[in-house]
């Protein structure tokens, strides 16, 4: 079963990479974009041998303890 985890910077955290993209858009002839923020996107495949409730705990742990730096990032899980 496939689950998606999206990790984004907290709103109060600066995103220099996103800012650099936004500033360079004018050079590429693209105007009208006022802000770009970059996050991470993970497609996670869980074995079908793992039960539904166990899967929930597993993915929560994966997202919280492995994929996210809780000081500057937050995560969201999309169950498909």
Note the residues at the interface with its own copies (CB under 8 A). 6-8, 18, 21, 24-25, 28, 30, 32-47, 49-50, 54-55, 58, 61-62, 65-67
Nearest approach, Cβ of residue 72 and its own copies (Å): 15
Residue 33 or 72: the one with the smaller Cβ distance to its own copies is 33
Residue 45 or 80: the one with the smaller Cβ distance to its own copies is 45
Residue that the structure tokens 């993915």 belong to = 59
Nearest approach, Cβ of residue 42 and its own copies (Å): 6
- The residues, any chain, with a CB within 8 Å of residue 31's CB and separated by 6 or more, are 25
CA atoms within 13 A on the CB side of 4: 5
Cβ burial of 79 (10 Å; 0-12, 13-18, 19+) is exposed
């Amino acid at each position: 079963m496939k689950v998606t985890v999206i990790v984004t910077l907290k709103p109060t955290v600066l995103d220099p990479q996103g800012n650099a993209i936004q500033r360079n858009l004018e050079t590429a002839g693209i105007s009208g974009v006022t802000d770009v923020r970059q996050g991470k996107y993970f497609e996670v495949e869980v074995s079908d041998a793992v039960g539904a409730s166990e899967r929930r705990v597993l993915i929560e742990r994966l997202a919280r303890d492995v994929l996210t730096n809780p000081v500057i990032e937050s995560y969201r899980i999309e169950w498909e």
